[in-house]
Amino acid sequence: MAVGQKTIRVVIGKVGCDIHERGALILARAFRDAGMEVIYLGRYQTAEAVAKTAVDEDASVIALSDHTGSMRYIAKETVDALKKFGGSDIPVIAGGLIPKKDLPYLEKLGVTGNYGPGTPLETVVNHIREVTEIDWPKGEVPG
């Protein structure tokens, strides 16, 4: 990392009753391998807990993961909670099982990425680098 370069801090949120966390754990490892700090809150969080943690921890980005098809609700609640806690400037990306019909809604909310299973880790890592506007060289993600 270059002198004076800010470390990307990612809060990974699993909001609601989604028991699936393999994807979130794989992303946490990929983000760490790419030099990012990761705060993974674990399963069964509320949108408010994710947003408050992101604000309190000065996160660069929130990465939401859901495999129940509920991302439109999770994302809306998270974006609203960010506004409540003064974190509207924190980008939100999403991934998991997201119905295609929900993609325009998520994009209108300002939620980007909206990746499905099997998305290359390098794609997600580079997207985070882009939305956080931190100058990182693009390249392969280890692991």
Tell me what pLDDT residue 140 has. Answer: 38
**If you compute the radius of gyration of the chain from its CA atoms, what whole number of angstroms results?**
14
> pLDDT value at position 56?
97
Which pLDDT value is given to residue 142? Answer: 34
Whether the full predicted model's pTM is greater than 0.85, yes or no, is yes
Please report the pLDDT score of residue 15 as a whole number. 93
pLDDT on residue 70:
95
Decide: residue 138, CB within 10 A, 0-12 exposed, 13-18 middle, 19+ buried.
exposed
pLDDT at residue 108, as a whole number:
96
For each of the domains in the chain, give its residue range(s) and CATH number, in order of start: 9-131 (3.40.50.280)
Q: What is the mean pLDDT of each run of 10 residues along the chain (143 residues)?
A: 71 90 94 97 95 97 95 96 96 96 96 95 96 57 35
